[in-house]
């Protein structure tokens, strides 16, 4: 078991199961999108293992600002598939009352924050949250994930600088999947992403985000550093976006010269091979894990589809703590009769 470090078989099996569940869910949602059941999806296919690793090392008190492509991270943190579907279907059970596009989750109960579409703009929020944690002597650190495209935003640089100046406990994790929609990382930046912290006095590290063991080992050092109160840390997890940017995107238009389809580096395959080689599981287990995931996900989607949409008049709620006369007037006129 040496190659798997201090991990127990249970931990590995759970990690594997969650990665498989995330992958199965991804494919299911893409299908549902094509059938018009779900409006949109940002697949995390290929990025599961770094997300699982973050989920394994994050403690309950740690607050995570995820981005819109973190499906496996939610599952590893215990978010039930039913809640994922409630948001994706934007039904009446959705915590966010059907107000956000699919994949824009806010699982507060699992100590996640809230996901927005504008790339990178959650990074300054995460710094503020870390300030509040220290100010209020709350346990836990803040972890924030984002893609390679986000490293070009002003928000990224502002956040790194602020986190460093105020010596805040923020772990920045860039999931570098090689692409920001159609723009490859080498057109996003001429520098190594993990070195970008240096300008702000922040240490950085690059890890193989497709390998569970390597991700855990690299992240462990970063977690330890941030947890010890030394300040922020920047991890670049190199991974690969196997699928399109979103269901609205066609990579055939721009990925023509790509030498890989990601399959030789597929993080799930790699973990499978490792588990089989180390004798943690056998082929039967692999097959049954996949079948179980499929059964769970098919059943759950079916079940959640029957939940009706939120009441239309709720679109006027939560603009403010108390609606102003403007929302009330518009609510009265929702059918044009007022």
Partner 1 sequence: MRSLRGYRKRRGGILMAQINMVQSLNKSIDLLMANDERVVVMGEDVGKDGGVFRVTDNLLSKYGEERVIDTPLNELGIVGMATGMAMYGMKPIAEVQFQDYIFPAFDQIVNNAAKIRYRTGGRFNVPLIIRTPYGGGVKGGLYHSQSGESYFVHTAGLIVVTPSNPYDARGLLVAAYKKNDPVIFLEPKRLYRASRAEVPDELFEVEIGKASRLREGDDVSIITYGSMVPVVMSTVERNGVNAEVLDLRTLLPMDIEAIIGTAKKTGRVVIVHEAPKTLGVGAEISALLAEKAIDSLLAPVMRVTGYDTPFPYTHEDLYIPNEKRIMGAIHRVLAY
Q: How far is the CB of 316 from partner 1 (least distance, A)?
A: 10
Any contact of residue 104 with partner 1 (CB under 8 A)?
Answer: yes
CA distance 333 to 10: 57
List the one residue out of 40, 41, 35, 48 whose CA is nearest residue 74: 48
Considering only residues 10, 321, 335, 338, which one is a binding residue for partner 1 as defined by CB under 8 A? 321
Residue 32 contacts residue 50 (beta carbons within 8 Å)? no
Task: Tell me whether residue 109 or residue 264 sits nearer to partner 1 (CB atom).
Answer: 109
Any contact of residue 325 with partner 1 (CB under 8 A)?
Answer: yes
Count of CB atoms situated within 10 Å of the CB of 165: 12
Any contact of residue 131 with partner 1 (CB under 8 A)?
Answer: yes
Any contact of residue 135 with partner 1 (CB under 8 A)?
Answer: yes
- Binding positions for partner 1, 290-319, rule CB under 8 A: 317-319
Any contact of residue 284 with partner 1 (CB under 8 A)?
Answer: no
Q: How far is the CB of 110 from partner 1 (least distance, A)?
A: 12
- Token pair listed for 160: 């790194």
- Binding positions for partner 1, 44-103, rule CB under 8 A: 63, 94-97, 99-100
Quick one: which segment of 48-56, 121-129, 272-280, 282-290 binds partner 1 (CB under 8 A)?
A: 121-129
Q: How far is the CB of 319 from partner 1 (least distance, A)?
A: 5
Quick one: which segment of 9-17, 215-223, 286-294, 322-330 binds partner 1 (CB under 8 A)?
A: 322-330
What are phi and psi for residue 144, nearest 5 degrees? -130, 130
Any contact of residue 324 with partner 1 (CB under 8 A)?
Answer: yes
Residues touching partner 1: how many (CB under 8 A)?
A: 47
Residues that bind partner 1 (CB under 8 A): 63, 94-97, 99-100, 104, 106, 108, 113-114, 116-118, 121-133, 135-136, 154-155, 158-159, 161-162, 165-166, 317-321, 324-327
């Amino acid at each position: 078991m040496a190659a798997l470090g201090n991990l127990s078989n249970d931990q590995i099996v759970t990690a594997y199961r969650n990665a498989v569940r995330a992958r199965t869910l991804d494919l299911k949602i893409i299908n549902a999108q094509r059938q018009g059941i779900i409006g949109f999806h940002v697949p995390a296919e290929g990025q599961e293992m770094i997300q699982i690793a973050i989920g394994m090392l994050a403690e309950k008190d740690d607050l995570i600002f995820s981005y819109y492509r973190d499906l496996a991270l939610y599952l590893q943190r215990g978010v039930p598939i039913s809640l994922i579907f409630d948001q994706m279907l934007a039904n009446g059970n959705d915590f966010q009352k059907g107000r956000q596009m699919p994949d824009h989750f806010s699982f507060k109960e699992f100590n996640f924050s809230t996901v927005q579409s504008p790339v990178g703009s959650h990074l300054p929020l995460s710094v503020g949250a870390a300030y509040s944690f220290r100010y209020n002597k709350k346990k836990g650190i803040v972890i924030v994930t984002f893609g390679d495209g986000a490293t070009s935003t002003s928000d990224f640089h502002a956040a790194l600088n602020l986190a460093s100046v105020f010596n805040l406990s923020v772990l920045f994790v860039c999931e570098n999947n090689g692409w920001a929609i159609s723009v490859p990382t080498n057109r996003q930046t001429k520098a190594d992403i993990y070195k970008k912290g240096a300008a702000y006095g922040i240490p950085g590290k690059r890890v193989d985000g497709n390998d569970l063991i390597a991700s855990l080992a690299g992240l462990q050092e970063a977690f330890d550093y941030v947890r010890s109160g030394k300040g922020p840390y920047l991890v670049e997890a190199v991974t690969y976006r196997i699928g399109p940017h979103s269901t609205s995107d066609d990579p055939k238009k721009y990925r023509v010269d790509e030498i890989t389809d990601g399959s030789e580096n597929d993080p799930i395959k790699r973990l499978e091979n490792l588990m089989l080689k180390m004798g943690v599981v056998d082929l039967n287990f692999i097959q049954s894990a996949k079948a179980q995931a499929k059964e769970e996900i098919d059943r759950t989607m079916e079940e959640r589809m029957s939940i009706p949409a939120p009441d239309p008049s709720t679109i006027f709620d939560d603009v403010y703590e108390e609606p102003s006369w403007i929302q009330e007037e518009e609510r009265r006129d929702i059918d044009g009769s007022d």
